[in-house]
Amino acid sequence: MYKLFFHLFFKRMDPEAAHHLAFAWIRLAARVPVLRTFAAAVLAPRFRELRTEALGLRMHGPFGLAAGFDKNAVGIDGMAMLGFDHVEIGTVTARPQPGNPKKRLFRLVADRALINRMGFNNEGSAAVAARLAARREVFRTTVGVNIGKTKVVPEAEAVADYVTSTERLAAHADYLVVNVSSPNTPGLRNLQATESLRPLLTAVRDAADRTVTDRRVPLLVKIAPDLADEDVDAVADLAVELGLDGIIATNTTIRREGLASPADLASETGGLSGAPLGDRSLEVLRRLYARVGDRITLVGVGGIETAEDAWQRILAGATLVQGYSALVYEGPFYARAIHKGLAARLAASPYASLAEAVGAGHRNRKDTPA
């Protein structure tokens, strides 16, 4: 039913306008008590066997909403109503900014993908912090906060910019993510180099600990799929060295190989997400787990459309998985399908729990005779 609706209605709309309309409907439904209860019962069934502990947090399951959908923390309960086990809001910058000029979001329907050059459009960390502080949750869910660099701030002042957002937002975050991997803020990806990343992560960690004294706020970094393998290894080693809590792999890509969409559409500048990202995202995840094992939490994101995609990420070493682009194409039953499929795969597997399945693909390959 949704796919027919998508082709008859949403497909004909400007992608950004369609996003705002759909998100408004989700938020409206979450404000109506009877409607949200019914919707959650249908869209967010709970499977006891999928309960997950990660980053010192307990979650209904491993599947969450990636950053980018709810930039300003306006629809957390709506997304929990749709079945997401955690909701990562943002990316939030220290100063409010409008983002890049429109048109800046493109659907590649033939590839089940999106290209965006949104440019961290958001209301700024002060406004988002105030909204989170005032929030009265309807559905219990884990809330991650993803922070990035304000566009007008020079790279030399990036650390102070991230620290400002950390001081405002850490108290309201179940976990905090440093985003240094969007291709849409000039110079941002330069911060993934370990000589830049080390002082940045150290400063954010110190700011979070200084601001929130009654608990440890887990800190993660989100990396790009376009990093060379040796740079992936360097980030992994740095994360272990600094005692980072996790790595999110991966953000969008600037690569365009193998796309079926028309060349004029596929060549739009920005970050590509969705199905074409899946193989590289999985490669990076496997490489990270081979490097760090279970010493830190890995979050798999990029090209996760089906329960099988999510299951492969778990076997590759992801404790948590996230989706976003597939929600555009799969609609409101997306999270439900992931959960049902994961529960079925776990039941058919030799693993007693989801935690036991994390990284099992590596162990099986090692145990297989050459």
324 is in an annotated binding site: yes
Q: Which residues are CB-neighbours of 6 under 8 A, at least 6 positions away?
A: 328, 329, 331
Quickly tell me which residue has 């490489």 as its tokens.
287
SS3 89: strand
The reply to whether 250 sits in an annotated binding site is yes
Q: Confirm or deny that 111 is annotated as ligand binding.
A: no
Of residues 40 and 7, more confidence is placed in 40
Taking a C-beta distance cutoff of 8 angstroms, is the pair 317, 286 a contact?
A: yes
Catalytic machinery residues: 182
Q: Which of 51-55, 117-121, 144-148, 180-184 has the lowest mean pLDDT?
A: 180-184
270 is in an annotated binding site: no
Query: Is position 179 annotated in a ligand binding site?
Result: yes
116 φ/ψ angles, rounded to the nearest 5 degrees: -130, 145
Label residue 365 by pLDDT band (50, 70, 90). Answer: low
The residues that bridge with 176 in the sheet, in sequence order, are 145, 219
> Which H helix or E strand runs over 147?
strand 142-147
Please state, in angstroms and rounded to a whole number, the distance separating the CA atoms of residues 332 and 340. Answer: 14
Give the closest residue to 272 by CA, choosing from 193, 184, 344, 140: 184
Query: Is a pLDDT exceeding 90 seen at residue 345?
Result: yes
pTM for the structure as a whole: 0.96
Nearest 5°: CA angle at 26, between 42 and 304? 70
The values of phi and psi at residue 179, to 5°, are: -95, 110
Establish whether the linkage from the previous residue to 103 is cis, with ω within 30° of 0.
yes
CA angle in degrees (0–180, nearest 5) for 359-362-222: 55
What pLDDT is recorded for position 370? 32
Q: Which CATH number fits domain 2-367: 3.20.20.70, 2.40.30.170, 3.40.630.30, 3.30.420.40?
A: 3.20.20.70
CA distance 303 to 283: 12
Nearest to 257 by CA among 225, 210, 222: 225
Whole-angstrom distance between the N-terminal and C-terminal Cα of the chain?
48
Helix (H, G, I), strand (E, B) or coil at 148: coil
pLDDT tens column, 53-92: 999 999 999 999 999 999 999 999 999 999 999 999 999 9
Grade residue 93 by pLDDT with cuts at 50, 70 and 90: very high
Please report the pLDDT score of residue 92 as a whole number: 98
For residues 3 and 119, the model is more confident at 119
Could you tell me the residue ranges of all domains in the chain?
2-367
Is 61 among the annotated ligand-binding positions? no
333 is in an annotated binding site: no
